[in-house]
Structure 1
Amino acid sequence: MKIISTNIGKRKEIDYKGTLVTTGIFKYSVDKPIFLDIEDVKDDAICDRENHGGVFQAVYGYSLKHYEYWNTVFPKVDFEMGIFGENLTIDDIEETKIHAGDTFKVGETILEATLHREPCYKLGVRFNNMTIVKKFWKTTFCGVYFKVLQTGFVKAGDEFIKIKSCPENPTIADLFVAKRILNGIS
């Protein structure tokens, strides 16, 4: 696995169907290394600290391979890197194979897989289509949140090198599906 794109976003206020929404989901690719800190990515806006950022959700990674699927579902969307709100677009990160606790050396950092991403209405705002939220829940393409065990810079081209495996723990996809069931989403 390797980083294809590093993405950050600025705080943005948009009018979505008559409601003012403040969000940091509008990420864009940057051509320089980004700094992964203990609770967030430096210079990346987090507008809802209750649900994003923090030690267990400091960095969000999403698979470029999943873009192929979503492009068939939403063919009119411009799928630029970072559209899912991810900080790291990774060539092939598979939620069904990554376990909570798996640890990776990436650039100057050490990252630990912690959680799945739960889609909220802001993903619908980003897509300008709220159906993405329900469709997202019906896949296992949730992406991976990481805890930063060692801070530092990462950049496009950096490899994800697994340094610790935790097969005794649930996969990120298992956690996502369990949350979907718990929430009664069908």
Structure 2
Amino acid sequence: MTMGRLGRVDTVLTGRAVPYTRQGTTSAIAKQAVQGPASVGFLGLEGDEQADRRFHGGPDKALHHYAFDHYEAWRGELGRQHPMLARPGAFGENLSSHGITESTLCMGDRLRIGSVLVEVSQARQPCWKLNDRFGWNGMARRVQDSMRTGWYYRVLEPGVLQVGDAIELVNRPHPAWSLARLLELLYVRTLDLDQLALALALPLTPSWRALVERRLARGEVEAWAPRFDGPQTTA
């Protein structure tokens, strides 16, 4: 694999945790574009927050990247005038770009963005907050089924990035394992035990390693409904 430029940063976004649509919940999914250089530490962008650290944020999910390339497909499916799709940020992403997707990135890829060195840690597991954000209870499942999920980075070298920075591939240790291949294994070929066993050689996050090990041990797929449905509230 030739190292080099994969794309460029089009938008950088941050958000604060605020009360969300369901009673008793908070979220920072409604992120806003920021201008100028943005500092990035081991836990992500300065000024960015995550409401529920059990499932969001932390070293393995320091930055969320979503391909703006996918927005056109979503407009075709959800309507060209859908207000969430008018600009980057619909999916709670920190970085928006053209030119790279889940099909062109691989697990463990190391990328230089500005002065920041990041590593692709996992694809996103869509949750109920996307249902509420898009006003449709099937949105989280649709994002999963489409495999247009976006992905996360862990930060290996903190630094500064901004709009216009090149996204440079520095190292690709697992060229056979695109994010798209892993997503297909997790959500389509869910009990392909041979492939699941091979996936254990990847630098999986602890939660994904546990998921793969459970499938191998039990021969069954974990329940997805709690992630899709979220907390239930009463009037």
| TM-score normalised to structure 1 length | 0.91
Distance 1:71 1:34 in 2: 29
Matches within 5 A, 1:91-130: 91-130=98-137
Q: Does the CA contact (< 8 Å) of 1:140 and 1:173 recur in 2?
A: yes
Q: What residue identity is the alignment partner of 1:54?
A: G
- Please state if 1:13 is matched with 2:29: no
Q: Does the CA contact (< 8 Å) of 1:6 and 1:33 recur in 2?
A: no
Deviations 1:106-147 (A, max 9, x none): 101011111000000011122122221111011121112111
Q: Determine helix, strand or coil for the equivalent of 1:149.
A: strand
More helix by share: 2
> Quick one: which of 77, 87, 92 aligns to 2:82?
77
| Matched residue, 1:40 | 44
| Matched residue, 2:29 | 25
Deviations 1:1-49 (A, max 9, x none): 1111000111121334xx3431011111111222221122211110011
| Matched residue, 1:156 | 163
User: How many equivalent pairs are there?
Assistant: 183
Q: Does the CA contact (< 8 Å) of 2:21 and 2:132 recur in 1?
A: no
Task: Please provide the CA RMSD for this pair.
Answer: 1.7
- Structure with bigger RCO (C-alpha 8 Å, 6+ apart): 1
Q: Does the CA contact (< 8 Å) of 1:101 and 1:169 recur in 2?
A: no
Q: Does the CA contact (< 8 Å) of 1:107 and 1:152 recur in 2?
A: yes
In structure 2, list runs of 5 or more residues that go unmatched. Answer: 1-6, 191-220, 225-235
Q: Determine helix, strand or coil for the equivalent of 1:122.
A: helix
| Matched residue, 1:171 | 178
More strand by share: 1
Deviations 1:80-103 (A, max 9, x none): 211111100011222122111111
Q: Does the CA contact (< 8 Å) of 1:62 and 1:93 recur in 2?
A: no
Greater Rg, structure 1 or structure 2?
2
Matched-pair identity in %:
25
| Matched residue, 1:66 | 70
Distance 2:106 2:51 in 1: 28
In structure 1, list runs of 5 or more residues that go unmatched. Answer: none
Q: What residue identity is the alignment partner of 2:158?
A: T
Q: What residue identity is the alignment partner of 1:31?
A: Q
Q: Does the CA contact (< 8 Å) of 2:40 and 2:161 recur in 1?
A: yes
